[in-house]
């Protein structure tokens, strides 16, 4: 069954905050913070919770980017060969003085100054950033 989630393009001043994932799918790749929507949780509440849990900060929603579909041929469960996400993307901001910290899902969080090189990003992140009008560059 597809997993409904929210993914956040987090802007702090001129920087975009990305996390290096610890778990499949997209293990060891730079990805936007995100997480599942819980039963009876509104989308805006999920965005706030994900910001708090994954970054340790409050986020301000700027706009909804849209509904996406992510298909992975990997999973964190040995008996499951794939994952299917239906993420709703949001562009959010945090205070320019906000200090964030990685949670257990990320080996590190980092601020990337725009323009961001697309070759270092997962293809789904490139789509999010383009839809959020974040300046990208290719080598």
Q: What is the residue-wise DSSP string for 61-119? A: EEEEEEE--EEES--SSTT---EEEEEEEEEEE--TT------TTEEEEEEEESSEEGG
3-state secondary structure of 138: coil
Give me the phi and psi of 124, to 5 degrees please. Answer: -70, -35
Q: Using an 8 Å Cβ cutoff, are 15 and 113 in contact?
A: yes
List the domain boundaries for the chain. Answer: 3-137
> CATH second-level architecture of 3-137?
Alpha-Beta Complex (3.90)
Q: How many angstroms separate the CA atoms of 58 and 8, rounded?
A: 12
Instruction: Please list the pLDDT of the chain residue by residue as tens digits (139 residues).
Output: 899 999 999 999 999 999 999 988 888 999 999 999 999 999 999 999 999 999 999 999 999 999 999 999 877 778 888 889 999 999 999 999 888 887 888 899 999 998 999 998 999 999 999 999 999 998 6
The pTM of this model reads: 0.92
């Amino acid at each position: 069954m597809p997993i409904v989630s929210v993914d956040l393009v987090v802007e702090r001043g001129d920087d975009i905050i990305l996390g290096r994932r610890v778990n499949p799918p997209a293990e060891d790749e730079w990805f936007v913070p995100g997480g599942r929507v819980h039963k009876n949780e509104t989308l805006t509440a999920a965005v706030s919770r994900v910001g708090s849990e994954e970054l340790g900060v409050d986020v301000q929603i700027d706009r909804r980017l849209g509904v996406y579909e992510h298909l992975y041929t990997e999973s964190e469960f040995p008996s499951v060969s794939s994952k299917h996400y239906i993420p709703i993307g949001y562009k959010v901001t945090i205070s320019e003085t906000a200090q964030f910290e990685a949670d257990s899902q990320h080996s590190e969080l980092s601020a990337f100054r725009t323009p961001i090189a697309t070759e270092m990003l997962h293809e789904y992140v490139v789509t999010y950033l383009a839809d959020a009008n974040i300046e990208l560059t290719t080598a």
